[in-house]
């Protein structure tokens, strides 16, 4: 086992990343050791990155322990670059983090400076972050600092270590600017408000949010736009952020509707919103704007009608979750349980019409389907004949009428072993008129020695 990271105190005491755990223990017997948990580290880094969204929308993760912020054009809002840096470091220190921050012209230069010191020339060659064998080669050649490399012509370096090395050298020195790709695409519309006195109550935060929503609605109105997704980001003074997302089926910009959906969202949260020491920045963003004409009442009330149902779907979907408010679409499959597609009503999709039933036929499919089918005990007259009686949920049903079998083949071509049992479906009616949909799983003798029976659905 090796040390991956050490605290400043441990570093002072002579510990270093890469050191064997046994060596470290030998030097410092009461060393506190924690297992590496990459997943938790990533989650934490993500949360910090979310919190950094208060400075700029261009936030990118940098390795497993770094963040890169593109603050072009943002710094003046926080009292210049130095002010922003101090604010950021202050917040993270308050969270108990050890932070090293560097400001540079390009992302690579900032990355190197934060890790290897301000002076580019004095940086060790490790700052180039080349493969370990190249590092050893450089060291053996007596090239220890970035200076040693920049002083030399670049062609031999490229010949020995490849284009990558010269490229890295230029980038670390700040000679080539690249664009970072932010963690989230920049939203189409962002409205935010900062508070000198943090908001300590959720109600105050909601009032602020309503004001932001009105401002957003006004701007969307001007351009005849509306949004389908809205995200409220609540930045706490300690640098963490809480996000609340809502979604509607149709584009909208109605403030009361949005606030109602935000209320619903808050009511369904598993862990209630904790303002901590208060929210000092509230932001409302609309990721995507869609065309939305100025609201108009049609005389015959046509468009308003759809609207009301769409609003109901929005509310219920926000409260219960998208998967719980559903509609059906046909799906081309002969396997009964795959013949329909269930999709969230909030995300409408074009659907093909359902096939019409043959006039005069009785219902051939049940209104309710069990998925998975329920195992039943059946007594049949002959092994491959219709059932005589069956037991389902501890009740015995005597079959008076039966129609079948309707044989439905398995999807053998989807299986590696070309296997799968066919099902023989029967529509049956018992003595009292209850109608069931049963099937025998496997053809008798050909596919199964003693096929099992299942109840798959109930007819009206």
Partner 1 sequence: MHDSTYKLATLRARIGAIEGGKPSGSAALFALGHDRLDARLGGGIARGRLHELFAADPVDQSSVTGFALMLAMRLGSDPFVWLRQDGGVRSSGELYAPGLIDLGCDPARIIEVQVPDETALLRAAGDAVRCQQLAAVLIEPWKGARAFDLTASRRLSIAAEKSGVTVLALRSAADPGPSAAYTRWRVRAIPSQVLEAGAPGLATIEITLLRHRGGIAAFHQRLEWDRDQAIFHEPPLSGAVVPVPAGGSFAAGPARRRAG
Binding site for partner 1 (CB under 8 A): 305-306, 308-309, 311-313, 315-316, 319-320, 324-328, 330, 336, 339-340, 342, 345, 351, 354-357, 359-371, 395, 400-403, 427-429, 431-435, 457-460
At 17, list the tokens: 């990343």
Nearest distance from C-beta of residue 226 to partner 1, angstroms? 20
Beta carbon nearer to partner 1, 44 or 328: 328
CA neighbours closer than 13 Å in the CB half-sphere of residue 32: 4
Q: Which residues of 79-100 are buried (b: 16+ CB within 10 A; e: fewer)?
A: eeeeebbeebeebbeeeeeeee
Nearest distance from C-beta of residue 311 to partner 1, angstroms? 8
Beta carbon nearer to partner 1, 219 or 265: 265
- Would you give the DSSP letter of residue 145? B
Taking a C-beta distance cutoff of 8 angstroms, is the pair 213, 256 a contact? no
Nearest distance from C-beta of residue 449 to partner 1, angstroms? 28
CA–CA gap between residue 100 and residue 362 (Å, rounded): 75
Beta carbon nearer to partner 1, 98 or 358: 358
Nearest distance from C-beta of residue 304 to partner 1, angstroms? 8
Nearest distance from C-beta of residue 370 to partner 1, angstroms? 4
At 351, list the tokens: 């659907």
CA–CA gap between residue 11 and residue 33 (Å, rounded): 14
Beta carbon nearer to partner 1, 36 or 312: 312
Nearest distance from C-beta of residue 329 to partner 1, angstroms? 8
At 117, list the tokens: 């010191």
At 418, list the tokens: 């070309």
Taking a C-beta distance cutoff of 8 angstroms, is the pair 125, 92 a contact? no
Beta carbon nearer to partner 1, 18 or 355: 355
CA–CA gap between residue 341 and residue 328 (Å, rounded): 6
CA–CA gap between residue 49 and residue 45 (Å, rounded): 6
Nearest distance from C-beta of residue 425 to partner 1, angstroms? 13
Omega before 438 cis (within 30°)? Answer: no
Instruction: Please provide the distance, in angstroms rounded to a whole number, between the alpha carbons at the two ends of the chain.
Output: 66
- Residues facing residue 227 across a β-bridge: 252, 289
Beta carbon nearer to partner 1, 200 or 348: 348
Mention every residue, 6+ apart, whose C-beta is less than 8 A from residue 347.
249, 322
CA–CA gap between residue 124 and residue 117 (Å, rounded): 9
CA–CA gap between residue 19 and residue 89 (Å, rounded): 29
Beta carbon nearer to partner 1, 136 or 335: 335
Beta carbon nearer to partner 1, 136 or 367: 367
Beta carbon nearer to partner 1, 36 or 364: 364
Nearest distance from C-beta of residue 358 to partner 1, angstroms? 10
Nearest distance from C-beta of residue 324 to partner 1, angstroms? 5
């Amino acid at each position: 086992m090796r040390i991956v990271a050490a605290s400043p105190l441990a570093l002072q005491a002579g510990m270093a990343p890469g050191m064997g755990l046994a060596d470290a223990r030998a030097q410092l017997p009461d060393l506190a050791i924690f297992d590496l948990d990459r997943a938790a580290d990533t989650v934490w880094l993500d949360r910090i990155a979310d919190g950094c969204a208060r400075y700029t929308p261009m936030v990118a993760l940098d390795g497993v322990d770094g963040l890169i912020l593109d603050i072009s054009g943002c710094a003046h809002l926080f009292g210049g670059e130095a002010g922003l840096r101090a604010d950021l470091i202050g917040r993270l220190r308050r969270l108990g983090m050890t932070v090293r921050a560097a400001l540079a012209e390009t992302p690579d230069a900032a990355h190197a400076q934060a890790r290897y010191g301000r002076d580019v020339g004095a940086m060790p060659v490790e700052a180039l972050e080349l493969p370990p064998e190249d590092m050893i080669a450089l060291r053996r050649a007596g090239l220890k600092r970035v200076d040693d490399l920049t002083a030399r012509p670049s062609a031999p370096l490229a010949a020995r270590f490849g284009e990558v090395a010269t490229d890295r050298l230029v980038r670390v020195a700040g000679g080539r600017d690249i664009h970072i790709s932010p963690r989230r695409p920049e939203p189409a519309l962002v409205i935010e408000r900062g508070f000198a006195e943090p908001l300590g109550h959720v109600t105050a935060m909601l009032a602020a949010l309503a004001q932001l929503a009105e401002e957003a609605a006004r701007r969307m109105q001007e351009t005849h736009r509306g949004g389908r997704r809205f995200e409220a980001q609540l930045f706490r003074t300690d640098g963490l952020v809480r996000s609340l997302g809502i979604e509607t089926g149709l584009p909208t910009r109605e403030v009361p509707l949005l606030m109602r959906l935000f209320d619903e969202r808050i009511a369904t949260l598993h862990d209630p919103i904790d303002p901590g020491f208060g929210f000092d920045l509230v932001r409302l963003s609309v990721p995507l704007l869609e065309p939305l004409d100025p609201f108009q009442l049609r005389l015959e009330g046509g468009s308003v009608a759809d609207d009301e149902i769409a609003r109901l779907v929005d509310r219920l979907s926000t409260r219960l979750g998208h998967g719980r408010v559903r509609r059906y679409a046909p799906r081309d499959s002969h396997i009964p349980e795959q013949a329909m597609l269930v999709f969230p009503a909030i995300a409408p999709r074009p659907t093909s019409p359902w096939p019409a039933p043959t006039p005069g036929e009785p219902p051939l499919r049940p209104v309710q389907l069990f998925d998975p089918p329920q195992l039943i005990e059946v007594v049949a007259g002959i092994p491959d004949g219709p059932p005589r009686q069956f037991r389902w949920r501890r009740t015995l049903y005597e079959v008076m009428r039966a129609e079948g079998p309707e044989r439905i083949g398995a999807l053998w071509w989807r299986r590696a072993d070309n296997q799968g049992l066919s099902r023989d479906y029967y529509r049956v009616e018992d003595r009292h008129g209850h109608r069931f949909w049963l099937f025998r799983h496997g053809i008798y003798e050909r596919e199964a020695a003693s096929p099992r029976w299942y109840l798959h659905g109930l007819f009206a």
